[in-house]
Structure 1
Amino acid sequence: MARGLAGGILIGLAAVLLLWSIGRIAGISGIASGALEGARGDRAWRIAFLAGMMLAGALALQFLPAPPRVQTGPTPLLLAAGLLVGFGTRLGNGCTSGHGVCGLGRFSIRSLAAVLVFMLCAMAMTFFMRHVIVNIGVSVT
């Protein structure tokens, strides 16, 4: 629980600092997209933010005990799920960090609708994968 709490505090702090310092929303999909496709003068802060995320992950691996390795499904299923999440992120004009962390914090109705839709879809898919797929003889673990 302590790691989750610390992680949540750091995510919130990063979002607030980015908003206060340069007036930008910490929506990771938008930051990554802009780093790849955005205007040339708008890329530096995006690349720095993404590099900082990777550096933080590398430092955590170096200095914190590693959590147990868990794979929740077959690799092809996980890759397909990742592609579908990417498609949904584009379709919904944002991801969980943009809508869930930053949008809800700004009381955005659009973000509330997005969060409700993707949380309900996630719950429905979890139910489907754990109860329906398993019952027809396909193992997802």
Structure 2
Amino acid sequence: MPALAQTVSILPERQDFSSEADRARLSKTALKAYKRLVGQWGLTGLQAAALLDVSTSTWERLKQDGKDKALSQDQLTRISALVGIYKGLHLLFADDMADRWPRLDNRGPLFGRLSPIDSMVKGGIPQMLDVRRYVDAVRGGL
């Protein structure tokens, strides 16, 4: 049993965004990355707000002065999933296609004939994680 305890103790701790200190530390960088992703994907303010699950007025405030605001665990999870999708798409496609793909209608069963963006707005975090797994699988990451 001692060998097992040693093995478990050397595994890296998984980031879960539950700690207020971690959220405060990560929020500025996460928000900066999300704002860049919104621009690269050409999202409307309504889409950007919906993906983050905030009102459009809250999204506008976050864009302007959200640097000092700690995002919620839910918001950080959403941004993490979306940044993972962004990165996976840029490994899979040329930049132009990688940035257009999230807005294109998709006939795949995961998307229900919606664009990945619309499917993630509709399906929330579970759909975002499914889309991330899908992109990773397509590029051979799973």
Same fold (TM over 0.5): no
Q: TM-score, normalized by length of structure 1?
A: 0.29
Q: TM-score, normalized by length of structure 2?
A: 0.29
